[in-house]
A and B are shown apart, each in its own frame.
Chain A
Amino acid sequence: MKITVQRSGGIAGMERVWSVQALTDDDRNQWKPLVEACPWDELPGRAQAGAGGVPQPDRFVYRIRAGQRRATLPERDLVGPWRTLVDCTRAAAESLDQPG
């Protein structure tokens, strides 16, 4: 399973992408609970606008993909299991970039 987080927006308007591949059984056992904990089926109707309906200027927008699942969330809605999934993905991807 591949997990990708694309972050756009922010005052700098720069796009960042973090990806991890859960290939081994160990990997999948680690990542599957994080993915399953997210309420993929309960996303706000106006995904870009967020729960309040109005985007806050210069906040980030997160596009998350895990296997076949997709979600777009404004930063304000990146809480709980979504936040955990993104933080873990980012940390794992960045540790891969670090020298051994």
Chain B
Amino acid sequence: MYCSIIPPYLLRRLAAQHHEPRLLVAARAAKEALQHVKSFQASRAAPVPAAPPGLRQLTPGPPQRTVYDAKASENLPGVLVHKEGEPATGDPAADEAYDGLGSTHRLYAEAFGRNSIDGNGLPLDATVHFGQRYDNAFWDGKQMVFGDGDGQVFNRFTASLSVIGHELAHGVTQFSAGLAYRNQAGALNESLSDVFGALVEQYVKQQSAAEASWLIGEGLFTDQVQGTALRSMKAPGTAYDDDVLGKDPQPDSMDSYVHTSADNGGVHLNSGIPNRAFYLVATALGGKAWETPGRIWYDTVTGGTLPAAATFTVFAKATAASAKELYGAESAEHDAVRRAWETVKVRV
């Protein structure tokens, strides 16, 4: 924030002295200072965004994690079982949630310089053992919530680091682009959660794009299920094929985009298309996916210009623009982004 030591009326008087040779330098400096004051006053009048676009936060602090136990009820947050810095509880769900919150915080801090979910040190809260045989996990706008699974199809939902990262990423999207949770904007919202959920897993294991599984929710299924994960970013539609659950219904390009009113317009289905685009960029460029593709996607969602009702095309164009700004119009990065979207048949 710019504060003027010299009051504006004095700066104006000085700036007016440009005819006086002795005061020419001072006049020029005063004129420049006045410009700063004007823009400062203008930005003060304008509504302040939740996080200034593109502004790197100061070195992120450590996470402030709290884990609660809902004890099979649906009351939130539940009983406090683990505060930041305390030793492990011995309850696998609580410990996995605590560790997963930490890993996610670390990815955002170290790879993107982001101080927690809101960029401003938001405490990270999670509730485990929500409901009875509750086969789900979600972000409620303030915290993460995890069920224990039903024991038939699903194990406990904290068992997958990509799921923990996925939920927290919904918070990041909420505090940045605020993508609406329906239709294409919702599928982008979902995809961003899969992208950053996958990156948390890859970051912890320090895996390259080639080494990564690109699976979301690996390890959640019980032995009874014929499938490896909830979703595959590498090959949407191949994560499971089970007698009872059916086949993974995700499309891998606009050719098989799903038009439905269920699931808020198919947000968990059509996310396969932008998921695959990210995977294609990551493998085209090689190396660690959080470094370049992650940076492009992160800048796109936090840059302040992505609309809440963005379509796939709007988002694709925005990623190409981010890549161009970061790496140049003729760069391999910009090229990889454009080709990825072309491959999944999204117009750039």
Bound CA–CA A12/B216 (angstroms): 9
Cross-chain contact A13 with B263 (CB below 8 angstroms): yes
Cross-chain contact B262 with A11 (CB below 8 angstroms): no
Bound CA–CA A10/B149 (angstroms): 12
Tell me, yes or no, whether B105 is within 8 Å of chain A by CB. no
Cross-chain contact B230 with A58 (CB below 8 angstroms): no
Bound CA–CA A61/B269 (angstroms): 14
Tell me, yes or no, whether A44 is within 8 Å of chain B by CB. no
Q: Provided the pairs A56-B139, A61-B263, A63-B262 are in contact, do residues A12 and B268 lie with their beta carbons within 8 angstroms?
A: yes
- Per-residue contact bits, chain A 59-100, to B (CB 8 Å; 1 contact, 0 not): 111010000000000000000000000000000000000000
Cross-chain contact A48 with B264 (CB below 8 angstroms): yes
Among residues of A, the one whose C-beta sits closest to the C-beta of B160 is A11
Within 8 A of A (CB), among B250-300: 250, 261-264, 267-269
Contact of B268 among A6, A9, A56 (CB under 8 A): A9
Which residues of chain B have C-beta atoms less than 8 A from A6's C-beta? 262
Q: How many of chain A's residues have a CB under 8 angstroms from any CB in B? A: 19
Cross-chain contact B262 with A58 (CB below 8 angstroms): no
Contact of A8 among B137, B189, B217, B262 (CB under 8 A): B262
Which residues of chain B have C-beta atoms less than 8 A from A8's C-beta? 262-263
- Per-residue contact bits, chain A 37-53, to B (CB 8 Å; 1 contact, 0 not): 00000000000100000
Interface residues on B, range: 20 to 34
Tell me, yes or no, whether B166 is within 8 Å of chain A by CB. yes
Within 8 A of A (CB), among B208-234: 217, 220, 230-231
Q: Provided the pairs A8-B262, A63-B262 are in contact, do residues A57 and B189 lie with their beta carbons within 8 angstroms?
A: yes
Contact of A12 among B136, B140, B167, B193 (CB under 8 A): B136
Which residues of chain B have C-beta atoms less than 8 A from A54's C-beta? 141, 181
Q: Provided the pairs A12-B230, A55-B181, A56-B138 are in contact, do residues A61 and B264 lie with their beta carbons within 8 angstroms?
A: yes
Tell me, yes or no, whether B196 is within 8 Å of chain A by CB. no
Tell me, yes or no, whether B163 is within 8 Å of chain A by CB. yes
Tell me, yes or no, whether B148 is within 8 Å of chain A by CB. no
Within 8 A of B (CB), among A1-15: 6, 8-15
Which residues of chain A have C-beta atoms less than 8 A from B136's C-beta? 10-12, 58-60
- Closest chain-A Cβ to B21's Cβ sits at a distance in Å of 63
Among residues of B, the one whose C-beta sits closest to the C-beta of A9 is B263
Which residues of chain A have C-beta atoms less than 8 A from B269's C-beta? 13
Bound CA–CA A57/B263 (angstroms): 10
Cross-chain contact A15 with B262 (CB below 8 angstroms): yes
Q: Provided the pairs A11-B157, A11-B163, A13-B269 are in contact, do residues A58 and B138 lie with their beta carbons within 8 angstroms?
A: yes
Which residues of chain B have C-beta atoms less than 8 A from A56's C-beta? 138-141
Among residues of B, the one whose C-beta sits closest to the C-beta of A83 is B74
Among residues of A, the one whose C-beta sits closest to the C-beta of B242 is A14
Bound CA–CA A10/B138 (angstroms): 8
Q: Provided the pairs A11-B163, A12-B217 are in contact, do residues A57 and B262 lie with their beta carbons within 8 angstroms?
A: no
- Closest chain-B Cβ to A50's Cβ sits at a distance in Å of 10
Among residues of A, the one whose C-beta sits closest to the C-beta of B186 is A55
Q: Provided the pairs A55-B182, A57-B181 are in contact, do residues A11 and B264 lie with their beta carbons within 8 angstroms?
A: no
Cross-chain contact B245 with A14 (CB below 8 angstroms): yes
A-B contacts, 22 listed (Cβ < 8 Å) = A8-B263, A9-B264, A9-B267, A10-B135, A11-B157, A11-B230, A12-B136, A12-B154, A12-B220, A12-B230, A13-B230, A13-B250, A13-B263, A13-B267, A13-B269, A14-B245, A48-B264, A54-B141, A54-B181, A55-B182, A56-B139, A59-B138
Besides the known contacts A9-B264, A48-B182, 19 further A-B residue pairs in the complex with CB atoms under 8 A apart: A8-B262, A9-B267, A10-B136, A11-B136, A11-B138, A11-B163, A11-B167, A12-B135, A12-B220, A12-B268, A13-B249, A13-B263, A54-B141, A54-B181, A56-B141, A57-B189, A57-B190, A58-B166, A60-B136
Residues of A with Cβ closer than 8 Å to B?
6, 8-15, 48, 54-61, 63
